[in-house]
Structure 1
């Protein structure tokens, strides 16, 4: 049975304050499909299986540096970023999920065409200036 993502939505955050959506690697077709498949197997949204990938957002009180140096993204060598408005205009709803600044970028369909479009919307991979190698 799928868990409704609605139970994990943050109602206290105003998405109109978001500026950038930042996704750490993997940013490949295979990596994004794998990430979306995990969500698809676990969550639903509006009663339907949810295909989505994790990302983080910047805003009034959260700079890109804050997000890139944060606990989730500082372990990622590279990232891609786009204005939230561009992601939403590209047909990808952005949901405020779990703990801020985490969001879920919804894929309208779980397929290569939508992943390719998301990759194009997010733009080129960039080096994370706050990357910290994790001990093995």
Structure 2
């Protein structure tokens, strides 16, 4: 089966602020094109040292709560040994240890199988790099 694995890069502009960017629609669009009703797995990966992928509820304050927790755990101050970029940028390089740079999700009948309130998001606290790439990869039979 030649199309059992398909991958694509999606460009995302996060701007100059910390953000939780919803990727769910981009994932759904990709799957409509490539899964064509099949079951499989979607892998979402950010090839950046300062960003992560999470599955959370959005637009209810949870995305802001996530950023607040990250501020508490990883303050943007001068404690970090990694010191180039904006003040506190070293914490951005620790972020992927807490918010992994990938997620693998089930695809059933060609659609992402998320819970009622779940969304796939890019978590980006790095204000110095507003342009991101996200690799979407579908493996299905």
Q: Fold match, TM over 0.5? A: no
TM-score (norm 2): 0.30
Structure with the bigger percentage of helix: 1
Q: Which has the higher contact order (CA 8 A, sep 6+)?
A: 2
Structure with the bigger percentage of strand: 2
TM-score (norm 1): 0.30
Q: For the pair shown, which has the larger CA radius of gyration, 1 or 2?
A: 2
